[in-house]
Amino acid sequence: MQEIDETNGYCYQTEMVTYETKPLLYVEHRNLNPENELKRYFGARAVLGDQRSDNQRHRPLHRSMWLTAAKDTWPRYAKIGISMQLLETKGGIQYFTFEHNRDYQQAQFKFLDAVDSMDPNNILALLRVNPYHIDSLLQISDVCRMQEDQEVARDLIEKALYCFESSFHPVFSLTSGQSRLDYRRAENRSFFLALYKHMTFLERRGCPRTALEFCKLIRCLDPERDPLCALLMIDFLSLRAREYAFLIRLYEEWEFHLNLSQLPNFAFSVPLACYHLSQQEDLPDSERARMEEQGKRLIQTAFIMFPSVLMPLLDQCGVQPDQAVSSHRYFGLEVQIRLVQPGALRQLVALFLGRNWPLWKDPGVMAWLEDNVKEVLRRVDANDPLVEESENKRKIRYQNVPRNIHRHIILSEIKEAIAALPPEVTTQPVMGYDPLPPLDGIITYTRPERTNQAPDGSTLSLFFRSLLPNFNLQEDRRQQMEGEGAEVQHELNQGVNRLMAAMRDMLANIRFQEPPQEEYQEGDGEWD
């Protein structure tokens, strides 16, 4: 007898979880719509409200899309100069790219000039004329988010996604898993970034299942390079969405060729998924027992491989460790201080802790953790060969961090992980519309040379540098005002405060000027 979970497609048999009836990273259109997830939580009436009657009264001004729902408050969409072309088909995989026409290239040059000017008015002026200019939407969204105006920030990202989807090639598919976009091409990067930012907004909004679907999509678009390192977040979203079977299957299918167990997030998240599955009463007893045993084995291996995780994790969860643990040579605080970790491992551990620690606060999880930590102590004291083997692995591996991991850490905005980044990353400019461009990037058009560059010492410059994740205000002030008195520093503080207030006022009162365009015909290009 079998039990089928139609939510994730898994088929359970009496002895073990078998296989999924769909491809591992299969993306479903219905799972890209957060309203579907909210309806499951709160009911359709609470989510939709009066939307149905409103839609009947008002003529739709926008196409129906999969990635985001257009709003009547947005300017009418007209072709802005972005298109998608099919480059080649190879091995059943279709490779696409976005392209910019001459007019959009000119708008892009104006955007780069506006960024160089360090004056947010110039970006806002560009948006008034080009309300769907992608990089301007991304950059101003970051400004709004930094000022905690989450609604406007999210709205700007949704506009960017709407613009991209309106430019899709007729055969480009979000769900087939056979459509690719090369992140090395500059025109494609903003699409990846808009998807990532939308995904983080969805997770914070309480739609982790929808966010997981977007994470799968990001991974599918360029799986060979994984430019935004979706692997470092897919475990977190799977746990948040309670997609435990999916996470375990992903680990079991990819561990052999991707070595997922060497990433702290997978090393700890997979056993946590096993634990949660073992607690589900609707699972067959034999399968629950298997999940329980697998969870114990994996969590013990994780702590032996990454002993630096335990004490910070307990501290984050507000749990006082047992005396036997805090004084032990493998986990004790003094040992943690003396423990030498390669820089790459410090970054991965800090990223995992900064993002995942809330998932471990449950009392049941902590009790399970305590039992397994005691077993780890016993194995360490018994000189388990895995202890020495893990130590050797830590010394040999984690010497270099790929650029995509650094890019992911910057986008994550997790302070502990950003603090662990190497100087060669933190000292270079990092702009939100294109963080850490690929070193082997493909450039199809270049910006004209500029002779006059904006000064870099103004208050506006300080404001824009403060948007960067590697910004250190105290160090910046120290470097800029060496030998100057407190009066100058006070003036700078006042200037930054005035600028922030002006930015809030501009964003609250911005009105877009709609460009001339043809009348949109209802039903033209709509998706059923």
Mean pLDDT, residues 245-259 taken together: 96
Residue 8 token pair: 């994730």
More confident residue, 78 or 28: 28
Predicted local distance difference test score (pLDDT) of residue 428: 79
| Banded model confidence at residue 3, pLDDT cuts 50, 70, 90 | very low
Task: Supply the pLDDT for residue 353.
Answer: 97
Three-state secondary structure call for residue 83: strand
Grade residue 335 by pLDDT with cuts at 50, 70 and 90: low
pLDDT value at residue 168: 96
CA gap 416, 127 in Å, rounded: 34
> Which is more confident, 472 or 230?
230
Distance from C-alpha of 525 to C-alpha of 528, rounded to nearest angstrom: 10
- 461 against 192, higher pLDDT: 192
Q: Is the pLDDT of residue 100 over 70?
A: yes
Does 323 have pLDDT greater than 60?
A: yes
Report whether 360 contacts 368 (CB < 8 A). no
Average pLDDT over the chain reads: 82
Sequence-distant (≥ 6) Cβ neighbours of residue 124 within 8 angstroms: 140, 506, 507, 510
Q: Where does the pLDDT of residue 426 fall: very low under 50, low under 70, confident under 90, or very high at 90 and above?
A: confident
Q: What gap in Å lies between CA 478 and CA 475, rounded to an integer?
A: 5
pLDDT of residue 451: 56
pLDDT band at 525 (very low <50, low <70, confident <90, very high): very low
- pLDDT for res 437: 94
Residue 215's pLDDT is what?
Answer: 98
Q: Is 459 exposed, middle or buried (0-12, 13-18, 19+ CB in 10 A)?
A: middle
Contact 32, 214 (CB under 8 A): yes
Give pLDDT, residue 480. Answer: 47
Instruction: State residue 337's pLDDT score.
Output: 62
Q: Is the pLDDT of residue 109 over 90?
A: yes
Is pLDDT of 143 > 60? yes
Residue 45's pLDDT band (cuts 50, 70, 90):
low
> Picking from 350-359, 364-373, 468-477, which range would have the lowest pLDDT averaged per residue?
468-477
DSSP three-state, residue 185: strand
What is the C-alpha separation between 338 and 311, in angstroms, rounded?
14
Mean pLDDT of 419-435: 86
For residue 457, name the pLDDT band (cuts at 50, 70, 90).
very low
Looking at residue 524, its pLDDT comes to: 37
Between 526 and 205, the higher pLDDT residue: 205
How would residue 129 be classed by pLDDT, with cut points 50, 70 and 90? very high
Can you give the pLDDT at residue 424? 86
Q: Note whether 188 and 207 are within 8 A (CB).
A: no
- The H-assigned helical ranges of 279-362 are 285-305, 310-316, 323-326, 333-338, 343-356
Q: Residue 49's pLDDT is what?
A: 57
Under a CB-based contact definition with an 8 Å cutoff, are residues 188 and 228 in contact? no
Residue 210: per-residue pLDDT: 97
Query: Would you state the pLDDT for residue 400?
Result: 84
**Average pLDDT of 75-84?**
90
0.95 exceeded by pTM = no
Tell me, what amino acid is at 521? Answer: Q
Res 487: pLDDT: 54
Distance (Å, whole) CA 218 – CA 199: 10
* Band (514; pLDDT cuts 50, 70, 90): very low
Q: Report whether pLDDT(412) > 80.
A: yes
pLDDT higher than threshold 60 for residue 6: no
What pLDDT was estimated at residue 516?
Answer: 44
Residue 1: its pLDDT value, please?
Answer: 33
The pLDDT score that the predictor gives to residue 227 is: 97
pLDDT of residue 147: 86
> Which pLDDT score, from 0 to 100, does residue 504 have?
53
pLDDT, position 14: 31
Asked whether the predicted pLDDT for residue 180 surpasses 70, the reply is yes
The answer, yes or no, to whether residue 280 has pLDDT greater than 90, is yes
CB 156 within 8 A of CB 144: yes
Share of the chain above pLDDT 70, in %: 76
- Lowest mean per-residue pLDDT among 285-294, 316-325, 328-337: 328-337
Q: Where are the alpha helices (DSSP H) in 382-514?
A: 385-396, 403-412, 415-419, 423-426, 459-466, 473-480, 486-509
d(CA 198, CA 30): 16
Q: What is the pLDDT of residue 432?
A: 82
Q: So what's the architecture of 26-46+65-228 in CATH?
A: Alpha Horseshoe (1.25)
DSSP SS3 for 147: coil
Model pLDDT, residue 278? 96
The token pair at 55 is 């839609």
Residue type, 100: H
pLDDT tens digits, one per residue of 54-65: 444 444 455 668
CA distance 213 to 235: 12
pLDDT at 65: 85
Domain boundaries, the chain: 26-46+65-228
Higher pLDDT, 342 or 516: 342
237-249 average pLDDT score: 97
